Structure 1
Amino acid sequence: MNIIFISSNSERARKLALTKVHIVLLISVLLLIIVTVALSLNFISLRYADRIDTPLLRAVLVNPQEERHQKIQTHLQDNLNVMASKLGQMQAQLLRLDALGERLAESSGIESGDFAFNQMPGQGGARNDLSAEELSFSEFSLKLQELSNMLDERTDKLGALDSLLRHDRITKFVMPSEMPIETDWYSSGYGYRIDPFTGKRAFHEGVDFTAEVGAPIKAAAGGVVIYSDRHPEYGNMVEIDHGDDLVTRYAHASKRLVNLGEVVLQGQKIAEVGNTGRSTGPHLHFEIRHKDKPQNPAKFLKKPG
């Protein structure tokens, strides 16, 4: 490339020849100048932003930096708010897990003091700075979400286990397994026997426990009193409904201590032994009926005779 310079003061023209090398150098210098000016302006806008009073310069240099900084801060604050919300949810889940852990320990018979549910488990190990890596924000958010999902899963499983254990405990309390009277034997068993009044073979639908008049009669399990009155054959009688069509009957009592509709607990005193109704002497006639069909009490009681 040739560039010719002509001057009015001189009759002789001057010629300047530019090669490709000259052009490349010229472009490089121009680019360097542009980059230097841009970096200088950026430095000035960051270093002396608070000292620039000229509206024009402030609009050109400072405002773009402030806008970009504000956008970054807004984005970070939004992410922090999301993470704070997740952290609050996880804290609530941990409280639920602590409560579940204490209930499970109680249901299983383990003392809750053996497990410190409100304390972090001990951790440790040798320090290794070479393999240590810092988590990025996205990685940290992903780990937080994974931990939250694990807490949800553990809570569901522990909740189901807690329900099973609680159902098992409730079943034990409503199952007529407690002896209704303090004795280890009965005077007349369940099944066919010779009727003491007729002398004929007859089916005995319960068991008889011989005891002194006034001896306490206890509920074999918790339930609701569905009968507490005098019966023409059973004398003073109490019936307790334990749910699932399971009923216990306590007959020939001298005194009834519970009323119709009353809720009783397992082992609670409900009557006293007597000799009322169709009876040859002081005793307790005890029956267990399922769907109004007699059952052998020996299959339920802890201490059958």
Structure 2
Amino acid sequence: MNIIFISNNTERTRKLNLTRSSIVLLFGIFFVMVMIVALGLNFFSLRYADKIDAPLLRAVLVNPQEERHQKIQTHLQDNLNIMASKLGHMQAQLIRLDALGERLAESSGIKSRDFLFKETPGQGGARSERDLSTEELTFGEFDDMLHDLSSMLDERADKLGALDSLLRYGRITKFVLPSEMPVETDWYSSGYGYRIDPFTGKRAFHEGVDFAAETGTPIKAAASGVVIYSDRHPEYGNMVEIDHGDDLVSRYAHASKRMVKLGEVVLQGQKIAEVGSTGRSTGPHLHFEIRHKNKPQNPAKFLNKSS
């Protein structure tokens, strides 16, 4: 390639002969210069971005960097918000598990301080040789671990909740079973089953037990329930009956005084009457019966203290 230069002053011409290698060299030099300028501008924008006062130059050099940085920050913040939400959910689950654990320990008779529910359990051990070769957790791996742990907490909470319900049901059942002694005495004067009737002298079936006690001795409800009878009976005298549910009824007869009314809700151990000798009775005592579906049951099977 030949390039001719003509001067107006000297009217002389100059000729420049460019070979292919010269052209390639020129383009190479130009490319290198462009790269140097671009790298210089990039370095300048990164290092002195906060010191640039010219708005136009700042818009050209700084804005792309800020946009990229802002996108990264937004992405990180979104991920942190998700993790914070999961951690908050797990904290709520742990609080619930702590409360369940303390209630279960109380229900089962275990001392809650033996488990230290609100303290982090101690851990330790010797450093493993593999520690030097372990890799740091990635964000994805950490997120997966949080998800798995959250699922485990949900499962444990459901199981502990079911166990707590069973224990509470058992504790409630204890109070509705006629298991407490109706009078403070260690013996009864007539047991459950066949005996010689004190009035006829013949063999007869005794449907309850008789507790000998002084007149006025408090009669207590053997279990919680609802009073379904509180009146005078021709044979039982002053009598009280309490329905404990599931067709289970306790009967208290021959009382001198009744302290509860029909339909009243009573608690286990509550005073409901006083010992007397009303009705078909030979002396002060409490005739106590337990009936299931109106069939007499042996009270000794229910009472915690019987002779």
What TM-score, normalized to structure 1? 0.87
| Closer/same/farther in 2, CA of residues 7 and 93 from structure 1, 3 Å limit | same
Q: In the TM superposition, what whole-angstrom CA distance separates every residue of 1:155-180 from its partner, at most 9, and x where no partner exists?
A: 11111111111111111121112222
Alpha-carbon distance in 1 for matches of 2:14, 2:53: 53
Letter in 1 for 2:176: V
Map 1:28-67 → 2, pairs under 5 A: 33-67=33-67
Alpha-carbon distance in 1 for matches of 2:295, 2:31: 103
5+ residue gaps, structure 1, are: none
Alpha-carbon distance in 1 for matches of 2:250, 2:66: 82
Residue number in structure 2 paired with 1:240: 242
Alpha-carbon distance in 1 for matches of 2:295, 2:193: 13
Q: Does 1:122 align with 2:119?
A: no
Map 1:1-305 → 2, pairs under 5 A: 4-8=1-5, 14=17, 16-18=19-21, 33-127=33-127, 130-305=132-307
Shift of 1:196: 2.8
Moved more, 158-167 or 184-193: 184-193
| Closer/same/farther in 2, CA of residues 36 and 290 from structure 1, 3 Å limit | farther
| Closer/same/farther in 2, CA of residues 209 and 44 from structure 1, 3 Å limit | same
| Closer/same/farther in 2, CA of residues 121 and 36 from structure 1, 3 Å limit | farther
| Closer/same/farther in 2, CA of residues 57 and 180 from structure 1, 3 Å limit | same
Alpha-carbon distance in 2 for matches of 1:11, 1:179: 133
Letter in 1 for 2:283: G
Tell me, yes or no, if the aligned pair for 2:2 and 2:15 is still in contact at 8 Å: no
Tell me, yes or no, if the aligned pair for 2:187 and 2:211 is still in contact at 8 Å: yes
Moved more, 39-48 or 92-101: 39-48
| Closer/same/farther in 2, CA of residues 79 and 164 from structure 1, 3 Å limit | same
Shift of 1:135: 2.0
Alpha-carbon distance in 2 for matches of 1:225, 1:35: 99
| Closer/same/farther in 2, CA of residues 213 and 80 from structure 1, 3 Å limit | same
Q: In the TM superposition, what whole-angstrom CA distance separates every residue of 1:59-96 from its partner, at most 9, and x where no partner exists?
A: 22111111111111112122222222222111111111
Shift of 1:31: 5.9
Count, aligned residues: 299
Identical-pair percentage = 78
| Closer/same/farther in 2, CA of residues 157 and 294 from structure 1, 3 Å limit | same
Alpha-carbon distance in 2 for matches of 1:223, 1:105: 28
Moved more, 183-192 or 244-253: 183-192
Moved more, 165-174 or 179-188: 179-188
| Closer/same/farther in 2, CA of residues 255 and 30 from structure 1, 3 Å limit | farther
Moved more, 154-163 or 141-150: 141-150
Alpha-carbon distance in 2 for matches of 1:7, 1:31: 25
Letter in 1 for 2:204: A
Alpha-carbon distance in 1 for matches of 2:184, 2:68: 85
Shift of 1:119: 0.6
| Closer/same/farther in 2, CA of residues 11 and 145 from structure 1, 3 Å limit | closer
Cα RMSD after superposing both structures: 2.5
Tell me, yes or no, if the aligned pair for 2:236 and 2:279 is still in contact at 8 Å: yes
Q: In the TM superposition, what whole-angstrom CA distance separates every residue of 1:130-175 from its partner, at most 9, and x where no partner exists?
A: 1443222222222222221111111111111111111111111211
Letter in 2 for 1:296: N
Alpha-carbon distance in 1 for matches of 2:147, 2:14: 83
Three-state SS of the structure 1 residue aligned to 2:103 is helix
Three-state SS of the structure 1 residue aligned to 2:77 is helix
Shift of 1:33: 4.7
Alpha-carbon distance in 1 for matches of 2:26, 2:230: 114
Shift of 1:283: 1.1
What TM-score, normalized to structure 2? 0.87
Alpha-carbon distance in 2 for matches of 1:119, 1:27: 73
Alpha-carbon distance in 2 for matches of 1:202, 1:29: 128
Three-state SS of the structure 2 residue aligned to 1:7 is strand
